[in-house]
């Protein structure tokens, strides 16, 4: 008699657990990928710059197509919670070793702290907890001795 009451109760509890799994989802990371080409960096581009100068300013391009050797593509994507929030593409064009033109989307200008350090340009970024450090080679930076790893 008691088995007839307990069996449906156990079955109901076990089946209700299946409904719990529908709203319980795994954590998905926020994944920014690619080159962050900001408006202030693009403002520093000038026609006639060499490939090395552009690489120094914008970084190494994400896509360097061998079939289009005079074009570098910079791609940035930001996925939050497993969903693509934004995707920006920016391309620079060369004639030989000289920059001729550029086009595409940029991120907003990077936010600078009072000490001139770059902070995260995303509006939801928590820039309050960043610590400023002394830039290497600055006048007030401590001198450090560099020693070789291997003894001769």
Could you read off the pLDDT of 45-79 as tens digits, one per residue?
Answer: 999 999 999 999 999 988 778 888 899 999 998 88
Q: Give residue 100's pLDDT.
A: 93
Q: Give residue 66's pLDDT.
A: 85
Cβ neighbours for 48, distance < 8 A, ≥ 6 positions apart: 98, 99
- Higher-confidence residue of 150 and 152: namely 150
Q: Give residue 129's pLDDT.
A: 43
Q: Give residue 101's pLDDT.
A: 93
> Minimal CA–CA distance to 32: which of 85, 94, 77?
77
Beta bridge partners of 10: none
Span 125-151, mean pLDDT?
54
Q: Give residue 98's pLDDT.
A: 93
Q: Give per-residue pLDDT as tens, 82-120.
A: 888 889 899 999 999 999 999 998 888 765 544 555 555
> Minimal CA–CA distance to 117: which of 103, 138, 100?
138
CA end-to-end distance (rounded Å), the chain: 88
Per-residue buried b or exposed e for 13-38, using 16+ beta carbons within 10 Å of the residue's own CB: eeeeeeeeeeeeeeeeeeeeebbbbb
What average pLDDT does the chain have?
A: 76
DSSP 107: B
Lookup: tokens for 86: 């934004």
Is the pTM of the predicted complex or chain greater than 0.75? no
Residue 34 sits at φ, ψ, to 5 deg, of 100, -160
Q: Which helix (H) or strand (E) holds 19?
A: helix 2-23
pLDDT at 133 over 60: no
> Minimal CA–CA distance to 70: which of 37, 98, 104?
98
Taking a C-beta distance cutoff of 8 angstroms, is the pair 45, 88 a contact?
no
Q: Give residue 54's pLDDT.
A: 93
In the chain, the percentage of residues whose pLDDT exceeds 90 is 24
How many residues are recorded in the chain?
Answer: 152
């Amino acid at each position: 008699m008691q088995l007839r009451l307990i069996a449906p109760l156990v079955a109901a509890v076990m089946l209700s657990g299946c409904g719990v799994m529908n709203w319980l989802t795994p954590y998905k990371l926020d994944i920014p990928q690619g080159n962050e080409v900001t408006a202030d960096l693009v403002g520093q581009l000038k026609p006639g710059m060499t490939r090395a100068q552009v690489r120094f300013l914008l970084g190494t391009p994400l896509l360097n197509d061998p079939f289009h050797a005079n074009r570098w593509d910079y791609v940035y994507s930001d996925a939050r919670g497993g969903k693509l929030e934004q995707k920006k593409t920016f391309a620079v064009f060369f004639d030989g070793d000289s920059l001729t033109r550029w086009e595409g989307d940029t991120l907003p200008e990077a936010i600078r702290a009072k000490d001139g350090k770059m902070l995260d340009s995303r509006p939801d970024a928590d820039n309050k907890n960043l610590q400023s450090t002394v830039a290497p080679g600055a006048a007030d930076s401590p001198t450090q001795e560099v020693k070789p790893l291997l003894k001769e």
